[in-house]
Amino acid sequence: MVEGLVERLRSIVGARGTASVRPRRLAEWRRLLAECADAKGGEVSARIRAAALAQTYLKLDDSARHALLRLISLEFGPVPARVAAAHEAYQRAAGTAGQWDAEADLRAALRSARIRILTQFNAIPQGVKFLVDLRADLLRYLEEDAELAPLDRELESRLAAWFDVGFLELQRITWNSSAALLEKLIQYEAVHEIRSWTDLKNRLDSDRRLYAFFHPRMPLEPLIFVEVALTDHLADNVQALLDEHAPVFDARRADTAIFYSISNTQAGLRGVSFGNFLLKRVIDDLQRDFPKLRNFATLSPLPGFAAWVGKNPQELAAEGLELDAAQLAAGKWTQDATAARRINEALAQLAARYLTLAKAGRGDGRQPRDPVTRFHLGNGARIERINLQGDASSKGMQQSFGVMVNYLYDLDDLEQNVESFAREGAIAMSAAVRRLARQK
């Protein structure tokens, strides 16, 4: 039955998709989506129909996918007249014995056909992964098509429920994990590129740990993973930390865990947050295996720093620097020890002000501009140290002139820091960072 539906749909959209969707094709999609939403023929038939639609969607070109998603977004929302009638009935029933039945009817009226379609997709084999990838498409189209927002809001809400942290499984990944999974780590690493299998093996050695969250319906797809180095100091340079030729540290002597890379892997799960839960679970796991660990910190990039400096050249002038942002990113100044010392002093002060004073400029104006800073402060960390020339790679120079940051997770202060940041926008920081931020 699935094969028959797929062939029928192919005849409608064309075997390779189409750049311009004709009215007849839209009409047929509309009918099939309605049958799917209404579970025509029963739930089994609805899911078979959903499977056929999913297979066909994957064969469409970008333009046709966009058209299909617009159709779902615009034509399969709640029926206004039904919502109005249910709301009126609920108002009349308020305070009576029929209030709860009227409330249930109102909820049913508000539940859109979009939700029913998405739920049918969820039930098919590989349906969860299909919906995650579908939302990745949706987010791309949404940048220039605001009318897709209703579908995006509902899909994000569904994914947030389906990917609740209570459903996720924490796994430690080792060199003995499957080759397919290790290849995905190389593909998904978003902070510090994994350059080779030797590089990956180094990151999985006895003085390292790598943990990932998995969903039971996507067992071969890490959703987010964190890379950890076990050390006896607060690491300040990522090239040194990832040096394949450095001797392996005796993990039994470690008192510090450095989280040096956190990578979200699924673009379609944007807005679905579980990174904070990952760090907390990893800290618990590390404490169990290494009781001597006392310090938990990151060695983090400062991804928006160079862009902020480029938009605020007066900050450079205030520090007496004659180089512009492009020249700083090029990095030639690092080859002159005298110039580098003077420029790094200025960059330290600029970075401290960027971390503590630059705001996002949208939503809550108290939120720091830098996304990595927002993440760690929101999880209770404090800004501990600014590391100059902490990342000498081309990417590190382009995004932050080589500056990196240690965020420290002091387990005794986490709860208070979270509450202060959420309530007042208070930024926890060390005395050294505070002094740098005040210098002008």
d(CA 277, CA 164): 10
* CB neighbour burial string for 336-375, b if at least 16 within 10 angstroms, e if fewer: eeeebeebbebbbbbbbbbbbebebeeeeeebbbbebbeb
How far does the chain reach from its first CA to its final CA, in angstroms? 72
Q: Which residue has the tokens 């609920």?
A: 90
- Whether 178 is catalytic: no
181 CB neighbour count, 10 Å cutoff = 16
d(CA 373, CA 406): 10
Amino acid found at 392: A
Give Cβ neighbours of residue 98 (< 8 Å, ≥ 6 apart).
none
Using DSSP's 3-state secondary structure scheme, residue 412 falls into coil
* 266-269: Cβ within 8 A, 24+ apart: 266/132, 266/136, 266/221, 266/223, 267/135, 267/136, 267/139, 268/131, 268/132, 268/133, 268/134, 268/135, 268/136, 268/138, 268/139, 268/159, 269/132, 269/135, 269/159, 269/163, 269/223
Q: Which residue has the tokens 């990952």?
A: 278
Catalytically annotated residue among 263, 300, 400, 420: 300
d(CA 6, CA 98): 46
d(CA 387, CA 241): 13
- Whether 87 is catalytic: no
Q: For the chain, what is the radius of gyration of the CA atoms?
A: 26
Comparing CA positions, the residue from 167, 346, 374, 142 lying closest to residue 274 is 167
Comparing CA positions, the residue from 253, 229, 250 lying closest to residue 239 is 229
Catalytically annotated residue among 112, 376, 393, 400: 376
d(CA 335, CA 25): 63
Alpha helix segments (H runs only) across 14-61? 23-37, 43-59
Q: Looking at the annotation, which residues are catalytic?
A: 300, 376
